[in-house]
Structure 1
Amino acid sequence: MPLDTRARARQALRAHVPELADAALGELGRGLDNTAFLAGDMVLRVAEHDVVPREAALLAMVAPRVSLPVPAVRFADADAGVLAYPLLPGRPMLGRPVPAGLARPLGRFLRELHAIDLAAVEGLAPVEDAHPAEWLEDLDGPAELLRVLRESVPEPGSRRVLAHADLGAEHILEDGGAVTGVIDWTDAAVADPALDFARLYRDFGPEFLGEVLAVYGDVPDGFGERVTFFARCAALEDLAYGREPGRIEYARAAERSLAWLFAN
């Protein structure tokens, strides 16, 4: 019988950090792709077995190339499907007021991330060339909002970069008014750069997005349309995700975002 996520985390601890083998395992969070536990000051993310070594290698490659902290992997256990790293300071931004000054470092971070030579990424991140219309497959939500999305599908962009691809408030850590980390790189892919602005727009609004883009630099024609489309889809995804027990904060944040995402 396969081990559950907690048992897999415990197994990996015993193998790699025996001094924490008997430490209490507190659940930090649970997403669609992984579950995170905390043992002492060590985060253990339990995910699909095959993605763990790839994500560890990706983080090691990204870390020296960007100006914001990313997880520094302590060990990657492919057999248990566990990625472990020391706890980064700060708390996720989901459901919290945004301190002034957070947009600029995120704009710089995205400029650096998207400038990484794709040759350095080969084998570390999948290539995702999906047409924006494919985001509508299995998407649920209010009929009127789904109609707006179906009537506003943008043309796909041609540029591809290394994208975090899930850069929402829950994956941005903040402490004392500063960004202290960007976590959960499970969905990182060679993809449309607009993906990395969509959840920032969804979670923090148009003014914040404008500040990020001002630091990031020039973007091609049609970029804003794709950011808006992806942000709207991501908001409806979180509305559905937030219906499940223990995830109400996702639904509340998504509901707030509808005011600017569907204003027209």
Structure 2
Amino acid sequence: MRERALRALRAHVPELADVAVTELGRGLDNTAFLAGGLVLRVAEAATVRREAALLDALAGRVSLPVPAVRFADAKTGVLAFPLLPGRPLLGRPAPAALAEPVGRFLRELHAIEPTEVHGLVPVEDADPAEWLEDLDGPPELLDRLHAEVPAPAPRRVLAHADLGAEHILERDGTVTGVIDWTDAAVTDPALDFARLYRDFGAGFLAAVLDAYGGPTDPAFGERVVFFARCAALEDIAYGVPEYVRAAQRFLSGDDNVSDDPAEGVQAWDA
């Protein structure tokens, strides 16, 4: 990964070829490095140009900052953009003041016509039943998930689809960026609320939803809860300590998330 980042850096920004390159972090799909204020995200080569085109399409269409592409090298699989200020909210509570701008951002994102990003992101059903395949965890929770599988969403929107605390940057009570658009898709809008619920609780999510304009369909809340539980189990299986601790807090009912996660979102479906 580092060698690919260095090759792309030498080819596109030779003036930074001799600066120190440090690893910022890694996920399931990519590894990010920092070189002289430039983020170099190394992922699958086939996705780099599509993600760069998506970010260009989002520029000026949403009110929260997204990465501004410096270059996209499909040969090495490197996407480069200037480092955004702030740090991820992973492991930290979200200031209440962030709910309104996040809700507004999601309203703007979901209003973009899927035809405008045709060919840049996949179209996914996000069938809740498919999320249970190979999912592991406490038997009582798995039994509950299998017994309460909601129906798929009646409509699809352009979604970030991985909007967890690790992908929201914050500084001094302000959202400074929404990063990592690798999983963006035309899919169930509930996916963009599920990880917010998992990471910040029902109160924060209710405020986000108020700014968004309310639920998108009658079973919206059921799918948010279902996807949040599944995502928490996936993070535990992923094994990174910070992710595991956050997921366990959610599943245990800590951090302002009720023992019954459906409580607090039932009103959304009214």
Residue 239 of structure 1 aligns with which residue? 236
Q: Percent identity?
A: 73
The correspondence for 1:222, drawn from 212, 219, 236, is: 219
Residue 93 of structure 2 aligns with which residue? 97
Kept in 2: contact 1:232–1:261 (CA 8 A) = no
Kept in 2: contact 1:74–1:85 (CA 8 A) = yes
Give, as a single letter, the amino acid of the residue that structure 1 aligns with 2:142: L
Residue 108 of structure 1 aligns with which residue? 104
Say yes or no: does 1:85 pair with 2:81.
yes
Q: TM-score, length-normalised on structure 2?
A: 0.93
Say yes or no: does 1:50 pair with 2:46.
yes
Say yes or no: does 1:70 pair with 2:87.
no
SS at match of 2:119: coil
Partner Cα distance (1:227, 1:210) in 2? 12
Partner Cα distance (1:77, 1:69) in 2? 22
Kept in 2: contact 1:202–1:261 (CA 8 A) = no
Runs of 4+ in 1 over 4 A off after TM superposition: none
Partner Cα distance (1:225, 1:130) in 2? 14
Give, as a single letter, the amino acid of the residue that structure 2 aligns with 1:9: A
Partner Cα distance (2:190, 2:5) in 1? 34
Give, as a single letter, the amino acid of the residue that structure 2 aligns with 1:92: P
Residue 253 of structure 1 aligns with which residue? 246
SS at match of 1:181: strand
- Structure 2, unaligned stretches of length 5 or more? 262-270
1:15-164 map, 5 Å: 15-164=11-160
Residue 263 of structure 1 aligns with which residue? 260
Give, as a single letter, the amino acid of the residue that structure 1 aligns with 2:229: R
Q: TM-score, length-normalised on structure 1?
A: 0.95
Kept in 1: contact 2:96–2:204 (CA 8 A) = no
Partner Cα distance (2:169, 2:232) in 1? 20
Q: Deviations over 1:119-145 (max 9, x none)?
A: 111011100013110000111111111
Say yes or no: does 1:191 pair with 2:169.
no
Partner Cα distance (2:258, 2:109) in 1? 26
Give, as a single letter, the amino acid of the residue that structure 1 aligns with 2:55: L
Q: Deviations over 1:204-247 (max 9, x none)?
A: 000001000001013210000000000000010111112xxxx2
Say yes or no: does 1:203 pair with 2:199.
yes
- CA 1:262/1:131 → structure 2, altered by over 3 Å: closer, same or farther? farther
Kept in 2: contact 1:231–1:261 (CA 8 A) = no
Give, as a single letter, the amino acid of the residue that structure 2 aligns with 1:94: L
Partner Cα distance (1:202, 1:37) in 2? 27
Partner Cα distance (1:36, 1:193) in 2? 27
How far did 1:67 drift?
A: 0.1
Partner Cα distance (1:189, 1:128) in 2? 7
- CA 1:39/1:261 → structure 2, altered by over 3 Å: closer, same or farther? farther
- Structure 1, unaligned stretches of length 5 or more? none
How far did 1:97 drift?
A: 2.5
SS at match of 1:110: helix
SS at match of 1:58: helix
Q: How many residues align?
A: 256
